Amino acid sequence: MKSVLVPAFALLLVAGCVAPEPGGPGVSTVAPSRPAVPARPGANTYLVPATDQPIALDGRLDPEEWQGLRAESCLNLATTHDLAPAKQPSQVWMMRDRLWLYVGVRNPIAPSEPLRKASVWGENDAVELSFQQAGQSKATTYILRGYPSMRFQSLMLGGAKPKDIERLSQNVSIRAKSYTRDSVWTMEWRISLRAIGVDPASDHQVAFNVTVCKPGSQEMVCWRPSTAETWRLDGKGLLELAPQPPPRRIMVPGLAPTPD
């Protein structure tokens, strides 16, 4: 497998561990989910739909939470880092609410190979996400790598400073689940939009890439392949964020709704 490991002297901070669950938005009622906005096949832009319904971060990709998990609304990672067709394509779904970006990843693996859960990139099953302000090639690139063990790493390779890494690591949650019988594992992320440099109210585009390391089939599958490191963003991949959903109204018996 083509190595994409960075040199040993590169700065790397492991925001170690099973990530703490940040407090999500309070919920008093369950509102119907909004229709999913499908990805545009073959385009470099993925449309991230808004949701006003909470996601139970448990590693399971439940269609009821992920707006149906429709095939036409996913990013299909069908190409490897070195531009070959993927033997084991992965699928990615994304949503946003007023504060958080949600990322769900489904990863088939080679049936003859065990899931590798250690936290070493390039040698174990893992998911890498990278974000940057759209149109700002010199802006900080925020890089996250997550593993089936539910550990994650925040990297300083993209110009992030220690304070950026600390803020990001405190505002990320990750959960994963493996299904041995089906030779697949799934992962859910919840990431603070502000912690990756996004103003939830005004920013509508984010440069983005996602890469899945699959040591069993000896490949790195990507959304937007690159001849450089997998985390480098060249502007080819963009997230188009749907407008944030309105605040949830809490109906209290005996009280009239608050006027707008």
Q: What is the pLDDT of residue 42?
A: 45
Residue 216 lies in a domain: yes
CA-based torsion, 222, 225, 227, 231: positive or negative: negative
pLDDT in tens, the chain (260 residues): 444 443 333 333 434 333 333 334 333 223 333 334 444 434 689 999 999 888 899 999 999 999 999 999 999 999 998 889 999 999 999 999 999 999 999 999 988 888 999 999 999 999 999 999 887 778 899 999 999 999 999 988 878 899 999 999 999 999 999 998 889 999 999 999 999 999 999 999 999 999 999 999 999 999 988 767 778 787 679 999 999 877 766 555 665 555 54
Residue 79 lies in a domain: yes
Residue 26 lies in a domain: no
108 with 183: CB under 8 angstroms?
yes
CATH number of the structural domain spanning residue 164: 2.60.40.1190
91 with 75: CB under 8 angstroms?
yes
209 with 16: CB under 8 angstroms?
no
Residue 16 lies in a domain: no
CA 85, CA 220: separation in Å to the nearest integer? Answer: 11
3-state secondary structure the chain: CCCCCCCCCCCEECCCCECCCCCCCCCCCCCCCCCCCCCCCCCCEEEECECCCCCCCCCCCCCCCCCCCCHHHCEEEEEECCCCEEEEEEEEEEEECCCEEEEEEEEECCCCCCCCCCCCCCCCCEEEEEEEECCCCCCCCEEEEECCCCEEEEECCCCCCHHHHHHHHCCEEEEEEEECCCCEEEEEEEEECHHHCCCCCCCCEEEEEEEEEECCCCEEEECCCCCCCCCCCCCCCEEEECCCCCCCCCCCCCCCCCCC
Residue 80 lies in a domain: yes
Q: What is the pLDDT of residue 31?
A: 33
Residue 68 lies in a domain: yes
Residue 11 lies in a domain: no
Backbone dihedral angles phi then psi of residue 37, each to the nearest 5 degrees: -95, 115
Q: Which domain holds residue 87?
A: 32-241
Q: What is the pLDDT of residue 41?
A: 39
Domains: count for the chain:
1
Residue 203 lies in a domain: yes
Q: What is the pLDDT of residue 25?
A: 36
